[in-house]
Structure 1
Amino acid sequence: MCRWAAYRGEPLYLEELVSSPAHSLIEQSHCATRAKTATNGDGFGIAWYGDRPEPGRYRDILPAWSDCNLRSIARQIRSPLFLAHVRAATTGATRRDNCHPFVHGEWSFMHNGQIAGFEAIRRHLEAMLSDELFAARTGTTDSELIFLLSLQFGLETDPLGAMEKAIAAVETVSMEKSGEALVRFTACFSNGRQLYAVRYATDHKPPTLYAAPMGGAAGAKSGYCLVSEPLNDEADTWVEIPDGSAVRVCPDGMQALMFRPGALAEAA
């Protein structure tokens, strides 16, 4: 299972999530405490938004703890919205094209979870993509394919609805091909303006997701942080997002919503 962290709010140096906290994302890359695998050494990536609509991105296959460039970049880049990810591979080889975050146009996406029996349904899911989106697929992971499916189903106009449709498509094809569906999905995505996160699983055992405000001057809230696991030991600060939920972080604050793909209920 992977680990990730994301932020939206007043501009913040990436190191505030990536490298500085006691349980920073780099620390989690070799010592995660709330995942099945403690080591997430199959690559890393960061995507950040600045003056242009599309995000900047840096990815590599090195473990996050061994890349000196990552610490340097995180110390220098300041952004109002960014996503960071360390990978523990479940599907797809350890190569740069399979490292999160994935980017298409102004959208960025990262994921922690899995699709059971993915190789048996992969071709059927890829067939749902337009020629343009199929050509945009450069890796082999289930994560990238879910991202492209959400774009196919209208991510630009209805982000959470499109993600529900993408997961519903995965569940439907899985049911058709094997008679069962197991999807564990904790993901984060953004268009550079709003930041979204989802926690969902068909077996109600989704990977973890937490949220917390980030403090600014004089203790004022400057933004919100979404993470796979807390960045420090201040237990009262972090709120666990429940299964079947989504959150949206925008200029007005953070909003909690339901996330219900519904494909299994329809197939029953």
Structure 2
Amino acid sequence: MCRWLAYSGSPVLIEDLLYKPKHSLIVQSLSSELGAEPTNGDGFGVGWYGRPETPGLFRSAEPAWNDRNLRDLATHIESPLVFSHIRASIGSPVQQTNCHPFRHGRWLWMHNGYLDGFASMKRDLMMAVDADLFPSIEGSTDSELFFFLALTFGLTEDPPAAVARAVGLIEETARRHGVGFPVQMTVATTDGETIWGFRYSSEGRSRSLFHSTDVSTLRHQYPDNPVLHGLSDETRLVVSEPLGDLRGAWREVPESTCVIVHGGSEELRAFQPELGA
């Protein structure tokens, strides 16, 4: 599938997130340990928040490990909230408009997984997107359409409820088309202040997802680790797989769970689709 990370905390150079960790996202683009496949070379994207109202976005169809522009930008851009995604396509074209994160206004969205039976139910799902939002769809992926369904169902007001309604609609539509387990997802979305991460699949066997633990506790456990002293107490990450092997630094997000990161804290909530949306 794909791999992604979401960071929230004190401003950090994108280079420190993407290149410096032992098992960084760049390393994962070549050699993922927990993904459905080890190589994620079908494009990448980085989204970040700065002075403008809307987030910055850099996407490319090049492999992340081989993009010199990404390396250069990463050494110059600093942000308190960063999304990054490396892509492994399962059929849709390798092109810039199909690379994550996707952006609409202040919102970013990225997805690891797929909608099984997407080709057969694509028209029905497209017709469910709000008419005012529909012209903003640029690519051809199930992931972007999923984003616009969530926007249609109120993502900007109540993200967990909107995603639950979107998943409910997808599963109902899939049943009409004879698809048994349509949704495989770990999703991250943000408005630039809060991060919402979701782990869910129709069959109850979701792709991996982890969140970081409290940095101050880790700093106490590992007083000689210089990396930990460079992070603020508010630092939190949600990732497809751990960026390093420091014991106690990562906790797995349970099945059917939404993790909410805001202001240096995280909250876990049960997540289930809302049927009849």
TM-score bucket (shorter structure): over 0.9
Q: 1:177 to 1:7 in 2, by over 3 A?
A: same
Q: What pairs up with 1:1-268 in 2 under 5 angstroms?
A: 1-178=1-178, 180-213=180-213, 215=215, 217=229, 221-263=233-275
2:232 and 2:45 map into 1 onto residues whose CA distance is 29
Q: Which amino acid aligns with 1:259?
A: F
- What's the % identity of the aligned pairs? 38
Q: Give TM-score, length-normalised by structure 1.
A: 0.95
Q: How far apart are residue 170 of structure 1 and its match? A: 0.4
**Structure 1: distance between partners of 2:244 and 2:159:** 30
Write the deviation string for residues 25-76 of structure 1: whole angstroms up to 9, x where unpaired: 0110010000120000000000001112210000000000000111121121
1:134 Cα offset (Å): 1.2
Letter in 2 for 1:79: S
Unmatched segments (≥5 aa) in structure 2: 216-227
Tell me if the contact between 1:92 and 1:139 (Cα under 8 Å) persists in the aligned partners.
no
| Residue identity in the other structure for 2:114 | Q
Letter in 2 for 1:97: T
Answer whether contact 2:116 2:179 (CA < 8 A) is retained. no
Q: How many residues align?
A: 265
Partner letter of residue 189 of structure 1?
Answer: T
Q: CA deviation at 1:219?
A: 6.9
Extract unaligned runs of 5+ from structure 1.
Answer: none
TM-score by length of 2: 0.92
What SS class does the counterpart of residue 254 from structure 1 fall into?
strand
Q: Specify the SS of the correspondent of 1:192.
A: coil
Specify the code of the residue in structure 2 equivalent to 1:201.
S
Distance 1:92 1:42 in 2: 10
- 1:230, 1:219 → 2: CA distance? 17
State the distance in 2 between where 1:31 and 1:203 align.
Answer: 26
Across the aligned residues of Structure 1 and Structure 2, the Cα RMSD in angstroms comes to 1.7
